[in-house]
C-alpha cells in the first residue's frame, strides 16, 4: 500500500460525488469511477457543488487530495485502502461488482457498499468471502451529514469493521458500528417507525399531513438535532432515564399494544440504557446539559426560521 491513503469510489452519482469530495478534502487520493461517459463529463461540476456544500457547513479541511475520474477502476483497485460501491440499488449488479472486487483488490482492502437497503450477506452470500465486506450506509447528502452506519455480514471480521471506522473517521465521518446485520440498519429502522405512525395518524384522520409536518419541524426536530431519543428523554424528566421509563413506559406500552407492537422496557433494559448514559455524561452534570440545550435550541430555532424565509413555495 502507498504511504498516503487511497479510496476508490464506484459510481459518480450524487452519493459517489459527495464521498469523493469529502475524502479528497481530508487528503485522501481518490479514484472516482463510472462507466457512463456523460456522468464522467459532469463529475467536475458535481464535485464543485459538493465542495460548496462542505464549505457552507463549515466542515472543510482544505487538504485537497487529488481526484482521478475514470471509466474503470483498473490499476486503482490493487492500491486502494477502501473501495466504496455506490452503484445502482440492484442486487444482481452489486453481486457482480463485488465478485470482481474480491478478485482484483488487494487482500487487505476494505470493501463496502453504500446501499440503503441491501444487506451484505445478500451481495456476498459465501461467509468465507465476507471477511472484509460490509455495508457503509450514509445519510444523504454525505458531504454535510457526516454519519456512517457500518453493518457487517455474518462473516465480516471485526478488524474490517474497525478499519472501515478508522478510514471513514479520518475523512470526518462519525461511524456507528452495528454488532450484527439487520434489515434497514439503524437509521431506516428509526425513520421507518416515525413514518409508519405518521401514515397511520393521517389514515385514521387524527390530523392531516400539514399537522404531522408541523409537529416534526417545530417540535421533535429541533430537539433531535441536538440530542437523540435517550438524552432527550433524560433532559426532559427530573430523575433521568429511570424516572422517564417509569412515567412514560406504561403509556408507550398501551400505544404500542394498540398498534400490535410489543413495548417492553424491562428492568434489565432500563439498567443497560441508564448505564450507557452515565458513561456518556455524569448524572450531576445533567442540569448543565439541560441549560445548554435550552440555549442551543433557541439559537437553532432562530437559524431555522431565517432559513425557512428563503424556502421556495
For the stretch 12-30, pLDDT in tens is 999 999 999 999 999 999 9
Query: Which residues are 82's β-sheet partners?
Result: 7, 110
Q: What is the pLDDT of residues 283-305, one digit of tens each?
A: 999 999 999 999 999 999 999 99
CATH 3.30.565.10 holds for 6-177: no
Q: Is the pLDDT of residue 103 over 90?
A: yes
Q: What average pLDDT does this structure show over 160-189?
A: 97
For 7, the 3-state DSSP assignment is strand
The number of residues making up the chain comes to 313
Average pLDDT, the chain: 95
Please tell me the distance from the alpha carbon of residue 256 to that of residue 267, in angstroms, as a whole number: 18
Q: How many CB atoms lie within 10 A of CB 276?
A: 11
Render pLDDT for 264-279 as a digit per residue (tens, 0 to 9).
889 999 999 999 999 9
Q: Provide the 8-state DSSP code for 132.
A: T
Does the pLDDT of residue 1 top 60, yes or no? no
Let me know the angle formed at the C-alpha of 155 by 153 and 160, rounded to the nearest 5 degrees: 80
Q: pTM of this prediction?
A: 0.92
Give the pLDDT score at 2: 53
Residue 230, C-alpha cell as written in the block: 435517550
pLDDT at 3 > cutoff 70:
no
Query: pLDDT by residue (tens digit) across 118-150?
Result: 999 999 999 999 999 999 999 999 999 999 999
* Residues in a beta bridge with 147: 174
Mean pLDDT for the stretch of residues 168-182: 97
Span 34-75, pLDDT tens digits: 999 999 999 999 999 999 999 999 999 999 899 999 999 988
At 176, list the grid cell. 456507528
In angstroms, the CA 109 to CA 2 distance is 12
Q: What's the whole-number mean pLDDT along residues 212-223?
A: 95
Average pLDDT over residues 166-178: 98
Domain with CATH 3.40.50.720 in the chain: 6-177
Rg, C-alpha atoms of the chain: 22
Grid cell 450524487 — which residue? 14
E-state strands within 92-138: 110-113, 133-138
Q: Please tell me the distance from the alpha carbon of residue 224 to that of residue 222, in angstroms, as a whole number.
A: 6
Residue 241: pLDDT band (50, 70, 90) is: very high
Q: Does position 115 have pLDDT exceeding 60, yes or no? A: yes
Whether residue 8 is predicted with pLDDT greater than 90 in this model: the reply is yes
Amino acid at each position: 500500500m502507498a504511504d498516503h491513503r487511497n479510496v476508490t469510489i464506484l459510481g459518480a452519482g450524487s452519493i459517489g460525488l459527495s464521498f469523493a469530495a469529502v475524502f479528497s478534502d481530508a487528503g485522501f487520493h481518490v479514484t472516482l469511477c463510472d462507466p457512463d461517459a456523460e456522468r464522467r463529463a459532469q463529475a467536475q461540476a458535481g464535485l464543485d457543488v459538493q465542495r460548496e456544500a462542505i464549505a457552507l457547513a463549515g466542515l472543510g479541511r482544505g487538504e485537497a487530495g487529488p481526484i482521478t475520474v475514470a471509466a474503470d477502476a483498473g490499476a486503482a483497485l490493487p492500491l486502494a485502502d477502501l473501495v466504496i460501491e455506490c452503484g445502482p440499488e440492484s442486487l444482481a449488479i452489486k453481486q457482480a461488482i463485488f465478485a470482481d472486487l474480491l478478485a482484483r483488490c488487494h487482500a487487505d482492502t476494505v470493501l463496502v457498499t453504500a446501499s440503503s437497503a441491501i444487506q451484505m450477506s445478500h451481495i456476498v452470500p459465501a461467509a468465507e468471502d465476507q471477511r472484509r465486506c460490509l455495508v457503509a450506509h450514509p445519510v444523504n447528502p454525505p458531504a454535510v451529514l457526516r454519519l456512517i452506519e457500518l453493518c457487517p455480514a455474518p462473516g465480516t471480521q471485526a478488524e474490517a469493521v474497525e478499519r472501515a471506522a478508522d478510514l471513514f473517521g479520518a475523512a470526518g465521518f462519525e461511524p456507528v458500528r452495528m454488532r450484527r446485520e439487520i434489515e434497514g440498519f439503524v437509521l431506516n429502522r428509526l425513520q421507518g417507525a416515525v413514518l409508519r405512525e405518521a401514515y397511520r395518524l393521517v389514515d385514521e384522520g387524527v390530523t392531516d399531513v400539514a399537522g404531522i409536518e408541523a409537529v416534526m419541524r417545530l417540535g421533535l426536530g429541533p430537539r433531535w438535532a441536538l440530542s437523540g431519543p435517550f438524552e432527550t428523554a433524560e433532559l426532559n424528566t427530573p430523575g433521568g432515564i429511570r424516572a422517564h421509563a417509569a412515567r412514560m413506559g406504561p403509556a408507550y406500552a398501551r400505544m404500542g399494544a394498540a398498534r400490535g407492537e410489543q413495548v417492553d422496557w424491562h428492568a434489565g433494559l432500563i439498567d443497560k440504557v441508564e448505564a450507557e448514559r452515565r458513561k456518556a455524561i455524569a448524572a450531576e452534570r445533567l442540569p448543565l446539559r439541560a441549560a445548554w440545550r435550552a440555549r442551543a435550541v433557541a439559537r437553532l430555532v432562530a437559524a431555522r426560521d431565517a432559513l425557512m424565509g428563503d424556502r421556495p413555495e
